[in-house]
Amino acid sequence: MKAQKYNHVNSIGYARGMDKKDPLAAFRKQFLLPKVKGKPAIYMIGNSLGLQPKTTRQFIKEELDDWANLAGEGHFHARRPWLTYHKLSKKILSQLTGGKPNEVLAMNQLTVNLHLMLVSFYNPTPKRHKILTEDGAFPSDQYAFETHLKFHGLDPETSLIEIKPREGEYFLRTEDIISSIERNADELALVILGGVQYYTGQFFEIGKITSAAHAAGAMAGFDLAHAIGNVPLQLHDDDVDFAVWCSYKYLNSGPGAIAGAFVHEKYSKDFSRPRFAGWWGHDEDERFRMIKGFKPMEGVDGWQLSNVPILQAAAHQASLEVFGKAGISRLRKKSLSLTGFLEFLLLEIDPDEKHFKIITPKDPNHRGCQLSILMKNNGRKTFSLFIKNRVIADWREPNVIRVAPAPLYNSYEDVFRLCQVVKHAING
Ligand SMILES: Cc1ncc(COP(=O)(O)O)c(C=O)c1O
């Protein structure tokens, strides 16, 4: 967005005009917007917990009704039979991840899925034992890597590589990730990064990083907690080995919602890999014969452990159907414009970066909807003004405010109002 082209951009009129022209604007009405002191909030933390679609209650109610009326028979005769409920989400999860239906599945929680995937795809040998990840990965991921290394009798000090941005920079250059992979090629077992980094908002170049990992003889996996529903993904075409995600952020499926996993089709019939199994991953034609000997389903379904938590799956389905209607490419288009607007207004407030610095990549291809704002001074004061002005954003120690306008329900007016509060805080 260039200043001379949009010289009236910094006005509520412009923001409202953009909302009027927005082909996705009507989706906002499909969500329950939270209130602060009785008035609608400016909600900017869809990267933490997405809003509740209005249809969620009905989806859950239908399952409660089927449970009340049919009890155990609901497994076969509920309007969405519980026995096969996990298959319903495959279509839209495929669209969101660029995975084929047999490569994607809703199950468990993100960290559980990460452990399951590490069991299958991190198989160290004395020579090839290293995991390469980004410095400052989300703590749950760090703990998963640390404990898998220890489980294999390895020392994280020598077997975990955490790549840092260059001195004075805030996010990683793809070339540096690739050269680190190349330098460690002989010893590398697994490259695993966030799809979109939770702290900086950087959208990693998944295809290039995966190719480099494969060229080095390593596996490539991604934690898509901040990527799914936020940026378009092509996991199959990018040849990613596995990925995991949660669905309480951009996927709006509710607190602690059912998570998901992707396993590339090339492993669909590879039953030789180590894995931790449960009965729901067993061949569905034989599952209820209750016989000895685990026979995995083909595809990612073979990694399922347990029968489906239907009430969670219902909330997930309600939300996915909204995504199905909006479409990830239209959402991305709006997201680029909405976050571009946010960036433009922020840079107008503090062009010389005296008060804050946006540490998310400037290149829109290398970020999702989130901008991470490193506060140079008065960070806490600015954040406390947010609350007073009904802005719900998120503070990350030591000094970063993250704001994530979600294109499904945030408006240009939200972004404008948020920036007014920042302006007020900066100018006292
Ligand atoms: C990037 C990332 N990974 C992992 C997790 C942990 O997920 P869960 O508690 O669903 O296992 C989160 C939670 O916010 C996250 O942001």
Residue nearest to atom 14 of ligand 1 (CA): 48
pLDDT at 220: 98
Residue nearest to atom 10 of ligand 1 (CA): 110
- CA–centroid distance, residue 344 to ligand 1 (Å): 30
Q: What average pLDDT does the segment 386-396 reach?
A: 92
Q: What average pLDDT does the segment 352-359 reach?
A: 96
Ligand 1 pocket test, candidate residues 47, 110, 223, most atoms within 8 A of CB: 110
Give the whole-angstrom CA distance, residue 166 versus residue 126.
Answer: 30
Does any ligand 1 atom lie closer than 6 A to the CB of residue 122? no
Confidence grade of residue 7 (pLDDT, cut at 50, 70, 90): low
Crossing angle for the helix pair 412-426 and 328-349, to the nearest 10 degrees: 20
Confidence grade of residue 382 (pLDDT, cut at 50, 70, 90): confident
Instruction: Provide the whole-model pTM.
Output: 0.96
Does any ligand 1 atom lie closer than 6 A to the CB of residue 245? no
Does any ligand 1 atom lie closer than 6 A to the CB of residue 145? no
Q: What percentage of the chain carries pLDDT values higher than 90?
A: 93
Give the whole-angstrom CA distance, residue 106 versus residue 135.
Answer: 28
Question: Beta strand 219-223 with 42-43: parallel, antiparallel or unpaired?
Answer: unpaired
- CA–centroid distance, residue 14 to ligand 1 (Å): 37
Q: Is residue 426 over pLDDT 90?
A: no
Does any ligand 1 atom lie closer than 6 A to the CB of residue 223? yes
Side-chain-facing half-sphere of 91: CA atoms under 13 Å: 11
Q: Of the candidates 201, 149, 208, which has an alpha carbon nearest to the alpha carbon of residue 179?
A: 208
In the sheet with 371-375, reading across from the earlier edge strand, the strands are 356-358, 371-375, 400-403, 394-396
Give the whole-angstrom CA distance, residue 33 versus residue 213.
Answer: 42
Confidence grade of residue 9 (pLDDT, cut at 50, 70, 90): confident
Q: Is residue 400 over pLDDT 60?
A: yes
Q: Is residue 3 over pLDDT 80?
A: no
Q: What percentage of the chain carries pLDDT values higher than 70?
A: 98
Instruction: Say how many Å lie between the first and final Cα of the chain, rounded.
Output: 27
Q: What angle do CA 100, 302, 63 make, to 5 degrees?
A: 80
- Residue 268 CB neighbour total at 10 angstroms: 18
Does any ligand 1 atom lie closer than 6 A to the CB of residue 248? no
Q: Of the candidates 9, 10, 19, 4, which has an alpha carbon nearest to the alpha carbon of residue 410?
A: 19
Does any ligand 1 atom lie closer than 6 A to the CB of residue 134? no
Q: Which residues contact 328 (CB under 8 A, 6 or more apart)?
A: 95, 96, 229, 232
- Mean pLDDT of the chain, nearest integer: 96
Give the whole-angstrom CA distance, residue 123 versus residue 379.
Answer: 44
Dihedral (CA of 112, 115, 117, 120) sign? negative
Ligand 1 pocket test, candidate residues 138, 192, 226, 250, most atoms within 8 A of CB: 138
- Residue 138 CB neighbour total at 10 angstroms: 19
Confidence grade of residue 6 (pLDDT, cut at 50, 70, 90): very low
Residue 269 corresponds to which amino acid?
K
